[in-house]
Amino acid sequence: MTSSYDFSGYLDARGTNWFDEDPLLRRWVARSELSAEVRSLLDRFGRDAASTWIERSDLAERREHLPRVREPDPYNRHPPTEVELPEATLRTLAEVHGSGIWRADFDERARYAVVYLLNEHGEMGVTCSVACTDGLARVLRMAADPADARAAAILREIEAATPGRWVHGAQFVTEIQGGSDAATNALEARPDGDGARLYGQKWFCSNLTADYWLVTARPTGAPAGHRGIALYCVPRRRDGAPNGYRIRRLKDKLGTRALPTAEIEFEGAWGFPVGPLDAGLRTMVAIVLTTSRVHNVVAAAASLRRALREAEAYAAFRTAFGRRLADVPLLAASLERLRTEADLAAAGAFACVEDWTAALAPDATREQKTWARILVSLAKAVATRRTSPRIYEAMMLVGGNGIEERFSVLPRLYRDAAIMETWEGPYTLLLHQALCDLDRLGVRGHEGDFLRFGLRDQAGDALVSELQAVLEERDETARALAFGELAPRLFFAYEAWARSTFA
C-alpha cells in the first residue's frame, strides 16, 4: 500500500519570501534609502527565490536539460558554435538582467541582495552570467576609452536592458598551460583596423552564450609576461553570424552543471581593446576578476544560508524516536553551528561588498584601496573553502533525503561549492596573491594601522604581531606556511566585526 507520509511540513517551513524572511539581509539593505521601485523588486525576487527559482534551478540541473552543443551543420559548412539552454534558465536570465540591476544608479546593496537571493540556488546557469555582466559593465565604465563609441554602446545596452531585450557577458583568461599564471597567455591578437583578430585556444570558457566576451590575448610581437597581454571585448556574433570561433567541446564538470563551460578555438574572432594594450591582464584582474570574486564571497554566504534553510526546515518537520530532529541534542548543536556560521558569512560578505565598493569611489583613499584589494583575495579564498564542509554537514543532518538529487538542493550546492573555490583563483593562489600585495602595497612596518583600518575593533595585538612576523620572515616556505595559518583567522576576525554591526 502506498504510504500517506508527505513532506508538506518541510516544504512549507522553507518560507515564502526569502528576502522578507532573512532578517540580516533585510537589515543590511535597510541601510540604503531605496526607491519604492527597488523595494518592490526585492520583494518580487524574494518570492521568486522561494518558488519559481527553486523549480527552474531543479529543472536546469536535470540530465536531460543540461546545456548541449547544437549539432553542427550536416554538410560541414559551419563549425559548432551554439549551445542550447533550457527555457527555464533563459527566463531567469531575462528577468534578472532585464530588471534594472545594471543601471549605474542602482543601489549597490540592493544589487548584491539580488545576487545573494540568486545564489541560494547554486549556480543554476544564471549566477556566472550575472557576475560576468557586472564585471563587463564595470570594466567598460572604468577602463574603456570614454570616447570609444563601441564601449559606450555596449554599456548602454547593459544598463537599459529589459526582460525582452537584454545582453550579458563572459570572461575568458584560462588557457591550457594554466589559469593561475595568466601571464603565460598565448592566444594571439593580430591587429586589424581599429581592433584585432584572435587566434588560438581558451581552455575554460563559461557562459559562452553571452553576447560579449572579455578575452585576454597577446598582440602579435608583444613581449613575454603580463605586460604583453591586452584585453579585448569580443562580440559573440557579428553581422548576424558567429564571430570567428568554434566550440571544441563542453566540459563535463563536477558542479555548475547547468552552466555551459567550453574549450573554444578562436579562428579570427574580431574584438576591440579595452584599456591600454600593455595593461590588459592588470585590468582584467583588478576590475573583472575582482568583481567575480566578490560575487563568489556573496555566493558562499548564500549557499550557507540555503543549507541552513533546508536543514532547519527538515529538522523542524521530521521526527525520529518520537521527537523532532531539531530537539536531538547533537543535531540541535549542528544546527546552531550552521546558524552562527551562516550569519557570520552573510555579515562578512555584506561588509566585503561595502568595503570594496567604497574603494571604487573616485575619492577613495589609499588605505581603502589597499584594504579592499587584500580583503577580496582573503574573503574569496576563506569564505569559499569553508562552504563545502558546512553544506556537507547540512546534507548529513537531513540524512538519506539530503543526498537525493531530486529531493534536495544540497548535493547540487555541495558540487557547486567545489567550483566556487576553484574558479576566479583557487585558495592557495589567492593567499599567495594577498601576501604579494601586502608587500607590494607597503603594509610591512604599518601592520597595526592596516589591521585596525580593516578589522576595526577586532584587530587585536596578537593578530598584529603575527602579521608582522609573517612579513618579516625571509624564508619563502616559512612565510607562506605562517600566512596560510594566519589568513583564515584574519578573515574570521573581519566577519566577527561585521556581525557585531548587526547586534
Ligand X SMILES: Cc1cc2nc3c(=O)[nH]c(=O)nc-3n(C[C@H](O)[C@H](O)[C@H](O)COP(=O)(O)OP(=O)(O)OC[C@H]3O[C@@H](n4cnc5c(N)ncnc54)[C@H](O)[C@@H]3O)c2cc1C
The binding site for ligand X (CB under 6 A) comprises 171-174, 178-181, 204-206, 253, 256, 261, 419, 422-426, 428-429, 432
* Cα distances (Å, whole numbers) of residue 312 to 7, 160, 349, 398: 14, 40, 22, 9
Query: What are 202's strand-pairing partners?
Result: 264
Q: What is the C-alpha separation between 424 and 180, in angstroms, rounded? A: 9
Determine contact, residues 257/57, Cβ cutoff 8 Å: no
Nearer to ligand X, 81 or 422 (CB): 422
Pairing type for strands 83-84 and 68-69 reads antiparallel
Nearest to 229 by CA among 264, 291, 276: 276
CB of 203 to ligand X, least distance (A): 7
CB of 260 to ligand X, least distance (A): 10
CB of 135 to ligand X, least distance (A): 11
CB of 14 to ligand X, least distance (A): 28
CB of 425 to ligand X, least distance (A): 6
Nearer to ligand X, 16 or 428 (CB): 428
Nine cell digits for residue 103: 543601471
Determine contact, residues 207/168, Cβ cutoff 8 Å: yes
Nearer to ligand X, 219 or 425 (CB): 425
Q: Which residue has the cell 555551459?
A: 260
Nearer to ligand X, 46 or 67 (CB): 67
Task: Find the helix or strand (DSSP H, E) in which 350 lies.
Answer: helix 329-360
Nearer to ligand X, 204 or 392 (CB): 204
Nearer to ligand X, 141 or 253 (CB): 253
Q: What is the C-alpha separation between 215 and 280, in angstroms, rounded? A: 9
Nearest to 487 by CA among 410, 407, 379: 379
CB of 232 to ligand X, least distance (A): 13
CB of 189 to ligand X, least distance (A): 16
Burial of 321 (0-12, 13-18, 19+ CB in 10 A): exposed
Nearer to ligand X, 122 or 179 (CB): 179
CB of 398 to ligand X, least distance (A): 26
Nearer to ligand X, 195 or 426 (CB): 426
Determine contact, residues 192/159, Cβ cutoff 8 Å: no
DSSP 184: G
Nearer to ligand X, 141 or 432 (CB): 432
Q: Which residue has the cell 518570492?
A: 47
List phi, psi (to 5°) of 110: -65, -40
Name the maximum alpha-carbon separation found in the chain. 76
CB of 421 to ligand X, least distance (A): 9
3-state SS assignment for residue 70: coil
Nearer to ligand X, 414 or 423 (CB): 423
Nine cell digits for residue 470: 609573517
Q: What is the C-alpha separation between 488 and 4, in angstroms, rounded? A: 48
CB of 109 to ligand X, least distance (A): 27
Q: How far is CA 208 from the centre of its chain?
A: 16
Residue least distant from ligand X (Cβ): 179
Q: What is the C-alpha separation between 130 and 302, in angstroms, rounded? A: 15
Nearer to ligand X, 218 or 309 (CB): 218
Q: What is the CA radius of gyration of the chain?
A: 23
CB of 256 to ligand X, least distance (A): 5
Helices (H) and strands (E) in the chain, counts: 17, 13
Would you list the DSSP string of 368-382?
HHHHHHHHHHHHHHH
